[in-house]
Structure 1
Amino acid sequence: MNKKIFVLYTGGTIGMKHSPQGLTPDTALVHQALQPFSDGLEFDWHVCNPLIDSSAVTLADQQNWLGLIGRNIARYDGFLILHGTDTLAYTANLFALACCNLDKPIVLTGSQWPYTADNSDAPLNLATAVAALQLGLPQVTIAFNGKLYPAVGSSKVSTQTAAGFDNPHFGALAELSPEGRLSAAAPTPQTNGGFHILTINPQAKIFAYPLIPGFSANHLAHILNHTPTQALILQSYGHGNAPADPAMIEALGNFIRQGGRVLNISQVPQGCAAAVYAQGNALRHAGVITGGKCNLETATALLTLAVSNDWDNHTICQILQQLGLVEAV
């Protein structure tokens, strides 16, 4: 019996066409692009109207797409999400954290060049995604340039080459063979209840602040005190180090005491925020959560869900451990 696959076409470069204003979304991709892979798979297309350039994706869009998955999870053997590359890793990470007890594959892909362009990477990315659906790993993954990556920890790393994505800490789960197959060890099944999707508040206010030498602590304090920020991602140096500036520490402490959440992650692509240097002690004493191997995309998903579901610091730390981003203590 053929596997039934739900295809969610959100937009993105993979299906774009040229216009006087530049590349714009188009529906010509529908049905055509997956015809070469119809042996053993049946594809049901759901096309977003309007199609979305992924740089314009909102939490409301992601919430709607998760709703489609939730309503169709029982009817399909897997889900293929065609998505623009700019925010693909953000969507993949949110899906990975929001979908609990997932027992079917959710695969996201896109392309650096349109499907119809000469030497486009789209056919290889689609072949990789289809192989991932046939492999059937019950998790959220990104299929790109012949490799399959776990969503958590993945980022867009290039706009110039076909190798658009990478996962600096966890690497690829599998690589496409010359025969067009993927092989990978299946993750340990989750057994704590049936499939469900966590609440997402499309009005959640998450802010990311990268530290740079000579930054103004007063500027950060102003952001925390005069904007509707509910959670802050602090992108610090190296192992999670930051200036022990009294004004900054006071601003962060006040924000946390008033119910805000602050997650400290490293700016380094393969960085790990950890209690290594004494320079980071002031942040930890202020109540800032140490994010370990958490990258920006995963941190955004985690804090979005934390705000949406009213998670406290203890719950956030537990999830960081479950994801393998920090060591259990």
Structure 2
Amino acid sequence: MNTRKRIAILYTGGTIGMMQTEHGLAPCADLGSRAQTWLGGQMDTDWHLAAPLIDSSALTLADWQRWLAWLHQHLDNYDGVLILHGTDTLAYSANLLALALPALTKPVVLTGAQWPLGAPGSDAPLNLQTALAAFDLPDLKHVAIAFNGALYRAVGSSKVSTEHAAGFATPHFAPLGQWQPESGWQQLRLHELPPPLGHAAQATAFNPAVNIVCHTLTPGANSAMIAHSLQHFTADGVVLASYGHGNAPADADLLAAIAAVCAQGVPVLNISQVAQGCAAAVYAQGSALRAAGVINGGKCNRETAVALLTLAAANGWTQPQIEQMLRHWQLWV
């Protein structure tokens, strides 16, 4: 006899629960009653509302701090947690939670919607059903994203569309599974998820005051702007989205600014700005950047990089510990 699972639903805001106001769509607190039809009766669900409910484009590090504290307080009381989140920054939050909670024994699933629940043709019902179906997977003990009938690993995830229901992807990794109401789960790949992480680089602290900055290289004066910013803005971590395999122009001022930041012990994580890019020691053009002290981010994307450096700054992780995390999540080569 199967015991009914008890799932906590943390509703943080986002399009899925929005209603029209005189200023446009805004989060509405009554999503629980409107969503009940699609949640079914196979599980017991307890609703919890984040305070405040937000449009996810207004996400701050203080929100992450509150949600992590909520998870630490409530996770033991449930068989899993469903987080309803706006799509704009959902991948950032999914990456952060996965990296901060690398030794889960139960699933934490995030979903949202491109169109509000109740809107004509909304994707919200399928996303809710996919997310709930994920809690029936006995081997899912990770943070994951359920969206458009697919399940994705959190680390390495990105929002890839604002126009279509297929709003998320993991460019370097196949989906963990596909789900439809008629056929259930197909093409499961949960065995490809990494095992729980040991204690060497686990996050024990979170600091909402850390400053992680992101710079994207483009041809032209962009290098001078980045160099100036690095020299005059105090950062606790820097994400540099460079070209191709992690290459950059041989700009003396830019390289000197990066070297000075690295010499101060501030991690500079060099990632590719290509969706399926890999920052690695391949081309001679990138050697000066590597010599300046950057950490090669491998297959790390922007969302993962921001989350990783946010936790690294709060926990004082060294370059080897950052590289350990990249290896663990199958991103570093």
Q: TM-score range by the shorter chain?
A: over 0.9
Q: Does 1:148 align with 2:132?
A: no
* Native 8 Å contact 1:31 1:45 kept in 2: no
* Native 8 Å contact 2:6 2:44 kept in 1: yes
**What amino acid sits opposite 1:67 in the alignment?**
A
1:197 Cα offset (Å): 5.5
Residue aligned with 1:33, SS: helix
Normalized against structure 2, the TM-score is what?
Answer: 0.94
**What amino acid sits opposite 1:314 in the alignment?**
P
Change (3 A) 1:100 1:188: closer
2:294 equivalent in structure 1 = 288
1:124 equivalent in structure 2 = 126
**What amino acid sits opposite 1:108 in the alignment?**
L
Q: Distance between the aligned counterparts of 1:198 and 1:142, measured in 2?
A: 23
* Native 8 Å contact 1:66 1:197 kept in 2: no
1:221 Cα offset (Å): 2.2
2:209 equivalent in structure 1 = 203
1:318 equivalent in structure 2 = 324
- Post-superposition Cα deviations, 1:72-95, rounded to whole Å, max 9, x if no partner, equal 121100000000000000000000
* Native 8 Å contact 2:269 2:297 kept in 1: yes
* Native 8 Å contact 2:38 2:125 kept in 1: no
- In the alignment of these two chains, the number of paired residues is 325
1:181 Cα offset (Å): 2.4
Structure with the higher fraction of residues in strand conformation: 2
Residue aligned with 1:265, SS: strand
Structure 2 residues not aligned, in runs of 5+: none
Q: Distance between the aligned counterparts of 1:284 and 1:121, measured in 2?
A: 44
1:228 Cα offset (Å): 2.0
**What amino acid sits opposite 1:168 in the alignment?**
P
Change (3 A) 1:25 1:98: same
Q: Distance between the aligned counterparts of 1:31 and 1:305, measured in 2?
A: 36
2:160 equivalent in structure 1 = 157
2:170 equivalent in structure 1 = 167
Structure 1 residues not aligned, in runs of 5+: none
Q: Does 1:221 align with 2:224?
A: no
Q: Distance between the aligned counterparts of 2:63 and 2:6, measured in 1?
A: 24
* Native 8 Å contact 1:207 1:231 kept in 2: yes
* Native 8 Å contact 2:107 2:135 kept in 1: yes
Q: Does 1:73 align with 2:79?
A: no
Change (3 A) 1:29 1:298: same
* Native 8 Å contact 1:7 1:45 kept in 2: yes
* Native 8 Å contact 1:34 1:126 kept in 2: no
**What are the within-5 Å matches in structure 2 for residues 19-168 of structure 1?**
19-136=21-138, 137-168=140-171
**What amino acid sits opposite 1:47 in the alignment?**
L
2:307 equivalent in structure 1 = 301
Residue aligned with 1:158, SS: coil
Question: Which is further off, 221-230 or 28-37?
Answer: 28-37
Residue aligned with 2:322, SS: helix
Correspondence for 1:252 among 218, 235, 258: 258
Question: Which is further off, 30-39 or 239-248?
Answer: 30-39
Q: Distance between the aligned counterparts of 1:36 and 1:12, measured in 2?
A: 18
Q: Does 1:267 align with 2:246?
A: no
- Post-superposition Cα deviations, 1:134-191, rounded to whole Å, max 9, x if no partner, equal 2140000000000000001110011011011111101210000343522533446437
Q: Distance between the aligned counterparts of 1:100 and 1:268, measured in 2?
A: 26
Residue aligned with 1:30, SS: helix
Residue aligned with 2:185, SS: coil
**What amino acid sits opposite 1:68 in the alignment?**
W
Normalized against structure 1, the TM-score is what?
Answer: 0.95
* Native 8 Å contact 1:206 1:304 kept in 2: yes
Q: Distance between the aligned counterparts of 2:197 and 2:52, measured in 1?
A: 38
- Post-superposition Cα deviations, 1:51-90, rounded to whole Å, max 9, x if no partner, equal 1110001111011111111111211000000000000000
Q: Distance between the aligned counterparts of 1:230 and 1:192, measured in 2?
A: 25
